[in-house]
Each structure stands twice: as structure tokens, then as C-alpha cells.
Amino acid sequence: MAKTVWISGASRGIGKSAVLHFARAGYKIAAGYHENDTAMQSLMQQLAEIGAMAVPVKGDIADPAAVESMAEYICSTLGGIDVLIANAGVAHYSMLEDMAYNEWRRVIDTDLTGVYNMIHASLPSMRNRGGGSIINVSSVWGIYGGSCEAAYSAAKAGVIGLTKALSRELGPSGIRVNCVAPGVIDTDMMVKFDETDRQQLIDSTPLGRLGTGDDVAGAMLFLASDSASFITGQVLEVGGGFPY
């Protein structure tokens, strides 16, 4: 029987790549997104063309009630949740002293509390199904810290701590919890960088290029697979060696 994966931030970037990778691997897809209906309609068309069973799931992961409703909908339409990929996130680039409290809260509420909300809503289904795999998306800045990205770095570091704690808490229930920490990935979060900045980032990456959504999605698919059945509590950097 095909397993179901719930992926947040699925309409673009890393999330979209993950959706397509998992669909091609035979998973049923719950494609989570917040606002971009046009992008999601396009993704649903792509999924239909490859014969995937998929449903769009719209809502704000920072809203716990909305997330609970999304999880209930996924379980009722696709039968349950086997794999959770907590991918959706936002960034904010500024000096901390120039960052307003509401800007700080937006990043923390989405990038860290949103992960809690998704896991909390998914656990009953995973327990009922005898196990599961949770893959959280952190960042290399959650490990090393990024100048002018204090809130993002703090949230992503929190995701790593949450991953490690839950791997111990949920292991006896057959639920594995791992984390990917992407480096510089060429998504629309890169729009603030000009060509000089991009080249500097490439020069800071030993493999000599920016990452792609497919690079990260491949790591996620591995962590969800039976090949990783004895792997939990780990942080897999997908960054080409960045920062160098």
C-alpha cells in the first residue's frame, strides 16, 4: 500500500521538488501551501500528468487550529500520515536592532512553532499506523549562525534541538525524526542577492555551485526510505560544504 507524505511549503522551491520526488517514488501526496493558488494549481497539473494521487492542503502552519484541520483532512482523504516534511519557512534579513518584534515573531511562529504544529497534528496518525518518519527542514544557519539573519538562525537552531529531542521521545513508537540543513539553495529566497553576491556564495561552497531543490529533495527521500530505517536524530547538511 502506498504511503502518504505531507509536505508543507509545497508550491515552490524545495517543497515543490520534494513533492515531485516523492510522487515519482509512488507516495500519495498532501501538498501543503499557504496562499499561492496559481502555483498550486500548476503543481497539481504536473502531479496529474505523472499519475500521482495528490491533494492540495491550504493553510497557515503558524495557526495551530488550521494545522489540526489540515491533518484531519489528509487522514480522511488519503488514509493517514506516514511521512511528514516540515519544510515551509520565511526569512528576514536585517540587523537585529532594526528588526521589529512582529517581524521576529513572524519568523519564529512560522519556522519553529509551525514545525511543532505540524508534528503535533501528525503524531496521532503515525502512532495509529505503528510508526512514521518526520523530516524537519533546518538550515546551515541553524548550525553556524548567519549575520543579519538572527531570527532565522535562532528558529532553525530550534528545529535542530526539537529534532534531536523528539528522536529520543518518539523512537520507542517507531517514529524516526531527522533533519536536513540546506546550504545556499537556488530558490526564490535568493532574489535579494545580485550576481556579485551569488558568485561570492558560490566561491564559499567547495563544490563550486549553488544547490538545487532536487539536491535537498533527494536527501529527504532517502531519510524517509527503508534504507534509512536505523537513522534517527540526525542532521544532514545538504550544502556542498558551505560555509567554507
Active site residues: 152
Q: What SS3 class is residue 89?
A: coil
Residue type, 97: E
Give dist(CA 184, CA 205) in Å, integer: 8
**78, 28 Cβ separation under 8 angstroms:** yes
Q: What is the 3-state secondary structure (H, E, C) of 135-170?
A: EEECCHHHHHCCCCCHHHHHHHHHHHHHHHHHHHHH
**84, 9 Cβ separation under 8 angstroms:** no
Give dist(CA 215, CA 217) in Å, integer: 6
Q: Which of 2, 57, 1, 55 is nearest to 27 (CA)?
A: 2
Q: Which of 214, 215, 208 is nearest to 237 (CA)?
A: 215
Residue 189 burial by CB count (10 A; 0-12/13-18/19+): exposed, middle or buried? middle
